Amino acid sequence: MTRLRWTLTLTVLLLLLPAGLLLRSPRPRAEGLERLIGQAALLQSFPAAPERPVPALWSQRLGAAQARRIWRQQRRFWWQFWGRDGDGGAFLAYQFQVGSPLPPHGIRVDDLVVVAADPLAKRLLQDQLKLAQRQRRGLEQRCLQRLQQEQAVFWAPLGLGVMAGPAAPLLQRFQEGCLSLELEGANLGLAGEAAAASGLLAAPGRALPAVVPPPLPSELLLEWRGPGLEGLLQGLLSRQLIREPLSARYGIGDAQITMLRRVPFVLRLRPLAQGPFQTGLELQLAVSGDRRPWNQMLAGLVEPLETQGLEATQSGSKALAATLWRQQDGRVVGGWRWVLAGSGSTQLLLFLGPEPPAATPAAATPVLNQPGLGASMQLRLRPAALAERGLLPPELPKPVQLASQLSLTAVPAAPGSALSQLTGRLQLQSR
């Protein structure tokens, strides 16, 4: 009995002692990161790699000697972020080390040291952190977990606007979100989620396998497929400068816009080797049902285009009629035509630049169906080729600008949800 009592006592101690230690010393995590994410337009996490050279940002913010010393002591993650107040430069954040003095322009944020580019940026961040902080929930909380546990990037609407530049109005569905980054040989795997509004509380959707489409062929610079033009038009039509001329000059009012919002589409950019245009733009629409409203809309464009000095020529049969618009020198600058698609249906192709080559029925199919979730949106592009022509926003990260291929697929987290699940791949090395 005595031996049994000692065995029971020892077992209880072995169970309770570790539990007590865990309660007194919980697993460390980046508590300060929860406060910083509310101030960040763009925030990136990086795994510690003390065996590698010191990153340039560390040397810039800490000085060469201090950067080397602290860099060698890193064991988990570090972060860089840009604030929501504009051009304050990138902030550096890393785990606070007991006994280590704060560097110039550095502040303590819970368990982190944050180093600003200059005294003004430091003071602005300190003032913002004094304000009441709301608890992170939903999408922001899940993004916070990614940033604490793996290499990832988080963006807020301001960060997306800076990176995307003129293309930002086309990305209204992805205003806030995050992506986990995983190096796979010469490719960078992307997986995450994004929302049409900041601070979305929606629950995550079910996990989906990564969709890896084939590389974009050399005859295209960009291809964007989607279930409806709603996402593209939302940002553009919120601008009065665009909305009013469409209605007053071209007769595209509420009825036509409603019709456009719902139609599945394929948007393409095609490189041009000669002529005044760098690229040709194509928008193919999967028109279903009665074609008369579409023909009426096209007919309403004739007079406004003729007043701009363009001349129309028509060709083809009644079912597959094509209209080409030419300048006075005879050069084709745009037009539209009805094209054959899969299962014998016809689709409407609108284009700017010279008339594009005929597409195969498979290439004309815009919709990508996900069982139980509806249609997804898929973007494929060749970033380096776009950057070479000055067509890529210059604020995008250098690895993106130098990549030969980028694909990204967005699937609704649930039918009708404002939350999208994202998967993609970035090919880092040109072939």
One-letter identity of residue 82? W
Q: How many CB atoms lie within 10 A of CB 251?
A: 15
- Rounded to whole angstroms, the Cα distance separating 8 from 12 reads 6
Residue found by looking up tokens 């001349």 in the block: 311
Strand, coil or helix: 124: helix
- Rounded to whole angstroms, the Cα distance separating 380 from 383 reads 9
Give the HSE-up count for residue 335: Cα atoms under 13 Å, Cβ half-sphere: 22
The vertex-42 CA angle with 140 and 33, nearest 5°, equals: 55
Q: What pLDDT score does 378 carry?
A: 92
pLDDT tens-digit profile, the chain (431 residues)? 333 343 333 333 333 333 333 333 333 445 899 999 999 999 999 999 999 999 999 999 999 999 999 999 999 999 999 998 767 799 999 999 887 889 999 999 999 999 999 999 999 999 999 987 777 888 999 999 999 999 999 999 999 999 998 888 889 889 999 999 999 888 999 999 999 887 777 778 766 666 678 999 999 999 999 988 887 887 777 777 788 888 888 888 888 888 888 899 999 999 998 878 889 999 999 988 888 999 999 999 999 999 999 999 988 777 778 999 999 999 999 999 998 876 667 899 999 999 988 764 445 555 545 444 456 899 999 999 999 999 999 989 898 999 999 999 999 888 878 899 999 999 986 54
Q: What pLDDT score does 3 carry?
A: 39
Q: What pLDDT score does 8 carry?
A: 34
Q: What pLDDT score does 317 carry?
A: 73
How far from each other are the two terminal CA atoms of the chain, in whole angstroms? 76
Q: What pLDDT score does 175 carry?
A: 92
Strand, coil or helix: 269: strand
Q: Which of 126, 155, 162 is nearest to 37 (CA)?
A: 155
- Which whole-number Å values give the CA distances from 284 to 16, 158, 228, 342, in the listed order? 67, 31, 11, 13
- Rounded to whole angstroms, the Cα distance separating 102 from 90 reads 18
Q: What pLDDT score does 17 carry?
A: 33
Q: What are 13's two structure tokens?
A: 């101690």
Q: How many CB atoms lie within 10 A of CB 248?
A: 11
